[in-house]
C-alpha cells in the first residue's frame, strides 16, 4: 500500500511539472478590459416641446450614434450626432418630463431632468411675393411662427427644397430652386408644416452682349455665343421673337448690325471712314440703329438708320457753349414709341464741352448749357414720359431726366465721380438707374443708391453697371464686380459669365 501511494505521488509531481512547462510555452492571456460607464455633466436646453434638439455633454459616450441609447424619462430618443463628449438628440414626441439617461456598452447614467413644455404653434403662410418668376429669384414668404434661424425652416416649391436666405418670425426670403415646378409653397419647422399660395414658374431667357476673352460675343442663359469673324465690336442687343440683333462695328471699324449672324452694313457720310452702331431697336418689321460716324477718329456725327437707310438727325443751331457752334455729336441709345423715334447722346462744339441731348424724330433737345461736359446715355419711354440717364461733370449734380427736367439721385457726397449708364422703368412706376459712383457699380431705385458690391474704392479699382432692365418683379444689371468677374446681377445676386471681359447690355425675355 505504501509503495502504491508513493508511486501515485511521484506520478502527480511529474504531471504537474509537465503542465507547468506547457503553460510557460503558451501565449500570454489578453488583458481584461473593464467597461467604463458614461457620465452626464449637463443638457441644453433643459426645457422645450417635443422635437427640440437637445445637446447632452459628458464623457465616455460612443462616437457611433447607434451605440448610444438615450431616453427621456424612459422613452427612447433619436441620436442625430455623437462624439465621446457630446450627443445631440431629439426630444421624443411620446416623452415626458423626467431625467435624461444615456446607456452604452459600459453602462448607464441618468442625468438632469428635461421638462416638456406645451407645443409651439405651427407656421402659417399669409402671402408670397412675387407669385411667379424663374429659377434663382428671391421670394419673400410672409406669415407667422417661422424660426429665426434660416436652417430651422424647410421651404419647398411644389416639393422641391429651396435655399432660405434670411429668417424672422414673420418673414422668410428664399431663392427659388432650379429644379422647382409650379405648385404650392410650403414651410416646415419642428412645430409643423404650412401650405401657402402657388408659385408659378415662368421661362426667362437672359441675353448679355459684350466681349469675351476671344472677341465680340453674346451669352444666352450663360452660354457663350461668339460673333462672326467680320465683327470687331458687339455693343447692343435686341431680341425679337427668335431673332437676335447685335449692333456694333465691323473689322474695318464701320457701323454694322447682325441679324442672326448675318451682317448689315450701315452707310456713312461721304468722306467718313469710321463709326459705331451703339444701340438697336426693332419695331414691327422696322430695324432702327443708333450710333455715329466720323473722320479719322474725330468730328463725329450723330446717326440713326432705319432698315439700313440713314434718317435725318439734326444738330442744334446757334451758339450753346462759349460762342462756339455745334458741329459734333454722338448717339448712344435709340428707343421707338409708336411712330416716334427717340435718341440719347450729346452734341458739342468741336473744341468745347459736350451738351447732354436727346432727339425726338431727329430734332435735338439740349438738356445742359455746355458749361461742363454732359451726356445722356440711355433713353426709355414709359407711357407719355421720356426718361434719360446720363451725367454732368464737375457740378456736383447727380441726376436723371424725366421729360427734360433733371431729377436728383442720392449719393453720399457730390464731389466724387459719377456716371449714369442706363434707365429702366418698372410696371409699377419705379425708376431704376444703373451706373458707377466713385468707380464702383451702383443701382438707384427712385433716387436712392443701392450698393451692388462691397468693394472698397481705391487706385486701379473700376467696376461697371452698364445696363439695367427688368422682367416682372426681377431687376437685372449687367456689368462687372471686383473679385467676382463680369456678368450680371439678378435681384442683387451676381452671376459671372464664362470668359467674359465686358458686359454692355442685358435683355430678358
Point out the least confidently predicted range of 27-36, 297-306, 464-473: 27-36
Please check whether residue 147 lies inside any domain of the structure: yes
Q: What is the mean pLDDT of residues 117-129?
A: 91
Q: What is the CATH number of the domain that holds 137?
A: 2.60.40.10
Please check whether residue 8 lies inside any domain of the structure: no
Please check the confidence at residue 84 and state whether its pLDDT lies above 70. Answer: yes
Please check whether residue 15 lies inside any domain of the structure: no
Please check the confidence at residue 4 and state whether its pLDDT lies above 60. Answer: no
Please check whether residue 210 lies inside any domain of the structure: yes
Please check whether residue 2 lies inside any domain of the structure: no
Please name which of 222, 302, 211 lies closest in space to residue 248, comparing C-alpha atoms: 211
Q: Verify that 137 and 227 share a domain, yes or no.
A: no
Domain extent at residue 464:
206-508
- Residue 123: is the preceding peptide bond cis (ω within 30°)? no
Q: Verify that 175 and 295 share a domain, yes or no.
A: no
Please check whether residue 17 lies inside any domain of the structure: no
* Residue 7 confidence class, pLDDT cut points 50, 70, 90: very low
User: Total structural domains in the chain?
Assistant: 3
Q: Verify that 431 and 287 share a domain, yes or no.
A: yes
> Which uninterrupted H or E stretch holds 14?
helix 2-25
Q: Give pLDDT tens digits for 50-71.
A: 888 999 999 999 999 999 999 9
Q: What is the mean pLDDT of residues 137-158?
A: 93
Task: Return the number of other C-beta atoms located less than 10 Å from residue 215's C-beta.
Answer: 14
What pLDDT is stored for residue 3 in this prediction? 46
Please check whether residue 139 lies inside any domain of the structure: yes
Q: Verify that 211 and 192 share a domain, yes or no.
A: no
Evaluate whether 137 touches 474 at the Cβ level (below 8 Å). Answer: yes
What pLDDT is stored for residue 22 in this prediction? 44
Q: Which residues contact 247 (CB under 8 A, 6 or more apart)?
A: 234, 235, 236, 237, 238, 255, 256, 257, 277, 278, 279, 280, 289, 291
Q: Verify that 218 and 177 share a domain, yes or no.
A: no
Q: Give pLDDT tens digits for 315-371.
A: 998 777 666 778 889 999 999 999 999 999 999 886 778 999 999 999 999 999 888
* Residue 31 confidence class, pLDDT cut points 50, 70, 90: low
Alpha-carbon span 297 to 438, nearest angstrom: 28
Q: Verify that 373 and 475 share a domain, yes or no.
A: yes
- Burial of residue 239 (CB within 10 Å: 0-12, 13-18, 19+) is middle
Cell numbers found for residue 285:
418689321
Q: Verify that 304 and 184 share a domain, yes or no.
A: no
Give phi and psi for 409, each to the nearest 5.
-115, 135
* Residue 32 confidence class, pLDDT cut points 50, 70, 90: low
Please name which of 361, 300, 371, 366 lies closest in space to residue 334, comparing C-alpha atoms: 361
What pLDDT is stored for residue 258 in this prediction? 98
Please check the confidence at residue 378 and state whether its pLDDT lies above 60. Answer: yes
- Which segments within 134-285 are labelled E, that is strand? 138-144, 154-157, 160-161, 163-167, 171-175, 183-189, 192-201, 206-212, 215-220, 223-226, 231-240, 243-250, 255-259, 262-265, 274-283
Give phi and psi for 159, each to the nearest 5.
95, -10
What pLDDT is stored for residue 93 in this prediction? 87
Alpha-carbon span 215 to 250, nearest angstrom: 12
pTM over 0.75: no
* Residue 18 confidence class, pLDDT cut points 50, 70, 90: very low
Task: Return the number of other C-beta atoms located less than 10 Å from residue 429's C-beta.
Answer: 10
Cell numbers found for residue 450:
443701392
Q: What is the mean pLDDT of residues 134-154?
A: 90
Q: What is the mean pLDDT of residues 402-422?
A: 91
Q: Verify that 328 and 197 share a domain, yes or no.
A: no
Q: Verify that 322 and 460 share a domain, yes or no.
A: yes
What pLDDT is stored for residue 14 in this prediction? 46
Q: Verify that 422 and 296 share a domain, yes or no.
A: yes
Q: Verify that 258 and 384 share a domain, yes or no.
A: yes
Q: Verify that 482 and 500 share a domain, yes or no.
A: yes
Please check the confidence at residue 49 and state whether its pLDDT lies above 50. Answer: yes
Pairwise pLDDT comparison (291 vs 205), residue with the higher score? 291
Amino acid at each position: 500500500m505504501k509503495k502504491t501511494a508513493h508511486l501515485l505521488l511521484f506520478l502527480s509531481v511529474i504531471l504537474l511539472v509537465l503542465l507547468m512547462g506547457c503553460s510557460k510555452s503558451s501565449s500570454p492571456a489578453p488583458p481584461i478590459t473593464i467597461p467604463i460607464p458614461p457620465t452626464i455633466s449637463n443638457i441644453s436646453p433643459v426645457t422645450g416641446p417635443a422635437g427640440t434638439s437637445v445637446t447632452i455633454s459628458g464623457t465616455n459616450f460612443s462616437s457611433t450614434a447607434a451605440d448610444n441609447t438615450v431616453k427621456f424619462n424612459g422613452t427612447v430618443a433619436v441620436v442625430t450626432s455623437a462624439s465621446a463628449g457630446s450627443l445631440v438628440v431629439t426630444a421624443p414626441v411620446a416623452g415626458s418630463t423626467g431625467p435624461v439617461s444615456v446607456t452604452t456598452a459600459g453602462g448607464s447614467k441618468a442625468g438632469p431632468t428635461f421638462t416638456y413644455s406645451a407645443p409651439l404653434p405651427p407656421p402659417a403662410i399669409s402671402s408670397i411675393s412675387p407669385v411667379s418668376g424663374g429659377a434663382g429669384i428671391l421670394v419673400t414668404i410672409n406669415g407667422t411662427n417661422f424660426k429665426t434661424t434660416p436652417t430651422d425652416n424647410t421651404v419647398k416649391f411644389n416639393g422641391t427644397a429651396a435655399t432660405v436666405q434670411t429668417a424672422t418670425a414673420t418673414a422668410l426670403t428664399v431663392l427659388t430652386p432650379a429644379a422647382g415646378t409650379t405648385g404650392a409653397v410650403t414651410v416646415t419647422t419642428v412645430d409643423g408644416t404650412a401650405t401657402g399660395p402657388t408659385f408659378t414658374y415662368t421661362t426667362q431667357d437672359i441675353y448679355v452682349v459684350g466681349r469675351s476673352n476671344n472677341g465680340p460675343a453674346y451669352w444666352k442663359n450663360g452660354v457663350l455665343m461668339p460673333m462672326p469673324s467680320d465683327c470687331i465690336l458687339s455693343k447692343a442687343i435686341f431680341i425679337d421673337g427668335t431673332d437676335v440683333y447685335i449692333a456694333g462695328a465691323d473689322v474695318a471699324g464701320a457701323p454694322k448690325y447682325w441679324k442672326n449672324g448675318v451682317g448689315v452694313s450701315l452707310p456713312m457720310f461721304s468722306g467718313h471712314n469710321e463709326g459705331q452702331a451703339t444701340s438697336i431697336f426693332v419695331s414691327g418689321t422696322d430695324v432702327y440703329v443708333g450710333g455715329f460716324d466720323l473722320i479719322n477718329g474725330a468730328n463725329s456725327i450723330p446717326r440713326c438708320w432705319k432698315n439700313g437707310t440713314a434718317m435725318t438727325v439734326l444738330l442744334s443751331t446757334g451758339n450753346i457753349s462759349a460762342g462756339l457752334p455745334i458741329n459734333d455729336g454722338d448717339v448712344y441709345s435709340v428707343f421707338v414709341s409708336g411712330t416716334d423715334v427717340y435718341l440719347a447722346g450729346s452734341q458739342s462744339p468741336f473744341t468745347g464741352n459736350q451738351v447732354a441731348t436727346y432727339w425726338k424724330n431727329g430734332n435735338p433737345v439740349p438738356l445742359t448749357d455746355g458749361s461742363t461736359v454732359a451726356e445722356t446715355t440711355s433713353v426709355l419711354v414709359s407711357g407719355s414720359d421720356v426718361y434719360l440717364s446720363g451725367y454732368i461733370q464737375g457740378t456736383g449734380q447727380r441726376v436723371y431726366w424725366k421729360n427734360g427736367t433733371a431729377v436728383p439721385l442720392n449719393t453720399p457726397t457730390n464731389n466724387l465721380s459719377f456716371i449714369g449708364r442706363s434707365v429702366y422703368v418698372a410696371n409699377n412706376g419705379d425708376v431704376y438707374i444703373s451706373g458707377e459712383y466713385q468707380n464702383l457699380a451702383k443701382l438707384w431705385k427712385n433716387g436712392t443708391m443701392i450698393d451692388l458690391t462691397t468693394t472698397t474704392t481705391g487706385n486701379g479699382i473700376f467696376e461697371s453697371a452698364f445696363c439695367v432692365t427688368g422682367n416682372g418683379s426681377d431687376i437685372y444689371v449687367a456689368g462687372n464686380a471686383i473679385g467676382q468677374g463680369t456678368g450680371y446681377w439678378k435681384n442683387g445676386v451676381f452671376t459671372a459669365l464664362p470668359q467674359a471681359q465686358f458686359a454692355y447690355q442685358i435683355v430678358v425675355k
